[in-house]
């Protein structure tokens, strides 16, 4: 371990631990967190932990908690603290909701967020789904095996008993849980313990449709499209009721202050508040946690119809119905935060600084603390001043805004780091992939790439599949682009039917963007694909994680530009200078002349036809009775 000053100074010049961490990303909520000082705003996180304790002791059943504080005060930091504390505990399940792409289908989106959250690892280092599945089996069979033991053993059981053991377990669980009206939910949860079927089970539990072959192999009925929104909330209730038999669900709604409005005129915060109100009385037990700005509470929640009934369910303090407010930081808080961040930074790089706050001066930080800053303001100041700049005096005139794009770089690199942990999940998110592609193509208007001079990027009205259209070469090129990652053959067939209808959608070329194979059993999808590639001169571009990651990273920087205090010009210039869009292989492949062939390096998209014959390193479970009896 070195104490050499020049070595530390070199480290400081090349690494800034604060840059790019001003905004809490969902990846930090789920994965490796940032340094946390538990004493700061402990009253907010303690309110959740106290609610969990009251529920576990039978003193309460449902508790609603709302944190309403200004931008940057640390609301998402509190949620991250709660998640990581609960992950070390075996008494609760954590569910995080921060995406509200379509407020008109909020129930379906909520179900998808619940299913996605339960995919995350819990206290036993397996998916939270798998913890619940193991608990169900253990109760039904009076066993005491761990989720990992079941995961190891499932291939052997499938080999020995086919799927009959799953049918048997589902029936046994139904006998002890007669309140569960949909036995297929139980069966799907049990399927999560099978390594070969876990992703398909989660897909089905999200309310989405499997291919017919996959659904039949797993004994699960496909939901009808027209019933999904109606059934979604009932499915969520049953899932949460099942989980609450073993663990207390903690359901966090974050990022409620966006500008989206539903078809009925309600904002995101209002839609979610009504959703929580509807669920409050129908769940066995659980904690609802909502975060929002103070003005969102005052201007939106208080104006709701039946506002009193809503607020009763959103706050645990029934006396004044006021949400929890986070405190501004004081000088001691600032010292504690900066010290914690620097301690982890130097430990990671095996360096010993001259003093714990190096390269900052304690008096400067205390001066900053006297201004009662938010957490975000402190991290922003540290990021800007990590190379030893001094705190500006109050009388100093404001510095002109730096127009250079180099300010974008640390945030871009930070987003790339966060993507490492989440890219596999994001590859299935058609909406965000399409949004990243369109954002990058918008930056290329006027450029000539692969023989196409891009003139404009258009939306395609009155349809659900084509994500956008690229117009170029004086209207001679019109490429319809559709990202389709769903495994269901009918969904792929429907998307391809639009891509090959050049006349209706005014296309000269259809382009499918997809990372997965299309099953040979999906006959209509395969036929539409043949027409696209062989008759219509269209293209199938393979989606690779390494190609989409930089486009996602710069999109996230753009989405958070206000929090990062970056200008549009800085981001656009960074994209141009670093050639993020113009040299991206995915962008270039979409614009290049079609090969007429299916791409290589696709991932399998079909359920294995044969049951696995063996399980490597399986840990045998000694049963006192055959699993199928």
CATH number, domain with residue 48: 3.40.50
Average pLDDT over residues 145-165: 93
**Comparison of pLDDT for 322 and 340, the residue scoring more:** 340
Residue 468 confidence (pLDDT) above 70: yes
Residues 350 and 496 in one domain: no
pLDDT, residue 318, reads 55
**Residue 601 domain-assigned (yes or no):** no
Residue 616 confidence (pLDDT) above 60: no
Residues 529 and 391 in one domain: no
Q: If you average pLDDT over every residue of the chain, what do you get?
A: 87
216-231 confidence digits (pLDDT tens): 999 999 877 667 788 8
Residues 301 and 338 in one domain: no
- Give me the number of domains the chain comprises: 4
**Residue 605 domain-assigned (yes or no):** no
Residues 419 and 362 in one domain: no
Q: Which of 230, 246, 262 represents a domain boundary (last residue)?
A: 246
pLDDT, residue 410, reads 83
Residues 185 and 323 in one domain: no
pLDDT, residue 29, reads 80
399-425 confidence digits (pLDDT tens): 444 445 678 888 898 888 778 767 877
**Residue 27 domain-assigned (yes or no):** no
Residue 397 confidence (pLDDT) above 70: no
**Residue 565 domain-assigned (yes or no):** yes
Backbone φ/ψ region at 350: left (φ over 0), alpha (ψ -120 to 50), beta? left
Q: Which of 192, 219, 246 represents a domain boundary (last residue)?
A: 246
Residues 323 and 337 in one domain: no
Q: Which of 353, 370, 399 represents a domain boundary (last residue)?
A: 399
Average pLDDT over residues 463-476: 90
Residues 421 and 566 in one domain: yes
Q: Domain range holding 422?
A: 413-591
**Residue 28 domain-assigned (yes or no):** no
CATH number, domain with residue 448: 3.40.91
Sheet holding 468-472, edge to edge: 448-449, 452-458, 468-472, 477-483, 509-514, 539-542
pLDDT, residue 239, reads 95
User: What are 291's strand-pairing partners?
Assistant: 67
79-135 confidence digits (pLDDT tens): 999 998 988 888 899 999 998 988 999 999 999 999 989 988 888 889 999 999 999
**Residue 619 domain-assigned (yes or no):** no
Residues 540 and 435 in one domain: yes
pLDDT, residue 6, reads 63
Residues 391 and 515 in one domain: no
Residue 610 confidence (pLDDT) above 50: no
Residues 216 and 263 in one domain: no
Residues 137 and 205 in one domain: yes
Residues 64 and 130 in one domain: no
**Residue 118 domain-assigned (yes or no):** no
Q: Are 509 and 480 within 8 A, CB to CB?
A: yes
Q: What percent of the chain has pLDDT over 90?
A: 65
**Residue 604 domain-assigned (yes or no):** no
């Amino acid at each position: 371990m070195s104490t050499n000053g020049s070595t530390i100074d070199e480290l400081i010049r090349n690494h800034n631990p604060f840059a790019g961490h001003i905004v809490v990303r969902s990846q930090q909520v789920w994965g490796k967190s940032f340094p946390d000082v538990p004493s700061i705003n402990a009253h907010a996180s303690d309110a959740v932990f106290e609610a969990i304790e009251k529920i576990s002791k039978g003193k309460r059943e449902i508790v609603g908690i709302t944190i309403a504080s200004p931008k940057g005060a640390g609301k998402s930091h509190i949620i991250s603290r709660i998640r990581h504390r609960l992950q070390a505990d075996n008494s609760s399940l954590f569910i995080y909701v921060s995406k509200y792409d379509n407020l008109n289908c909020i129930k379906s989106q909520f179900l998808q967020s619940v299913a996605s959250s339960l995919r995350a690892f819990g206290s036993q280092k397996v998916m939270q789904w798998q913890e619940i599945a193991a608990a169900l089996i253990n109760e039904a069979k009076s066993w005491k095996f761990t989720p990992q033991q079941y995961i190891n053993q499932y291939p052997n059981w499938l080999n020995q008993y086919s799927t009959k053991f799953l049918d048997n377990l589902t029936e046994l669980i139904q006998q002890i849980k007669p309140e569960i009206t949909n036995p297929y939910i139980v069966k799907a949860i049990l399927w999560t313990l099978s390594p070969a079927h876990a992703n398909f089970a989660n897909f089905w539990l999200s309310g989405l449709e499997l291919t017919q072959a996959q659904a039949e192999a797993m004994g699960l009925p496909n939901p009808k499209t027209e019933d999904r929104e109606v059934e979604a909330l009932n499915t969520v209730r049953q899932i949460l009721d099942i989980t609450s038999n073993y663990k207390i669900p903690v359901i966090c709604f974050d990022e409620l202050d966006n500008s989206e409005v539903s078809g009925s005129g309600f904002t995101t915060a209002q839609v979610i508040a009504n959703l929580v109100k509807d669920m409050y009385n129908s769940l066995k037990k659980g904690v609802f946690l909502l975060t929002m700005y103070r003005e969102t509470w005052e201007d939106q929640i208080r104006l709701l119809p039946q506002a009193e009934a809503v607020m009763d369910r959103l706050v645990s303090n029934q006396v004044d119905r006021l949400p929890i407010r986070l405190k501004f930081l004081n000088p001691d808080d600032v010292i504690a935060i900066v010290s914690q961040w620097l301690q982890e930074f130097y430990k990671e790089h095996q360096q010993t600084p001259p003093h714990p706050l190096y390269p900052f001066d304690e008096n400067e930080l205390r001066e900053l603390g006297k201004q009662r800053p938010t957490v975000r303001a402190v991290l922003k100041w540290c990021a800007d001043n990590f190379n030893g700049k001094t705190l500006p005096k109050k009388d100093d005139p404001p510095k002109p805004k730096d127009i250079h794009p180099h300010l974008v770089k640390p945030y871009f690199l930070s987003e790339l780091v966060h993507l490492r942990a989440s890219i596999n999940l994001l590859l299935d998110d058609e909406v965000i992939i399409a949004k990243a592609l369109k954002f990058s193509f918008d930056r290329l208007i006027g450029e000539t790439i692969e023989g196409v001079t891009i003139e404009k990027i258009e939306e395609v009205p009155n349809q659900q599949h084509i994500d956008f259209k690229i117009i170029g070469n004086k209207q001679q090129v019109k490429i319809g682009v559709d990202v389709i990652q769903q495994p269901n053959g009918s969904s792929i067939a429907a998307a391809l039917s639009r891509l090959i209808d050049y006349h209706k959608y005014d296309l000269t070329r259809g382009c499918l963007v997809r990372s997965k194979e299309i099953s040979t059993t999906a006959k209509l999808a395969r036929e539409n694909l043949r027409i696209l590639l062989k008759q219509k001169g269209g293209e199938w571009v393979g989606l690779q994680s390494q190609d989409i990651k930089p486009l996602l990273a710069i999109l996230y920087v753009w989405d958070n530009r206000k929090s990062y205090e970056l200008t549009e010009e800085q981001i656009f210039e960074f994209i141009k200078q670093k050639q993020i869009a113009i040299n991206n292989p995915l962008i270039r492949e979409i614009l290049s002349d079609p090969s007429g062939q299916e791409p290589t390096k696709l991932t399998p998209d079909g359920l294995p036809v044969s049951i696995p014959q063996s399980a490597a390193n399986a840990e045998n479970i000694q049963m006192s009775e055959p699993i199928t009896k």
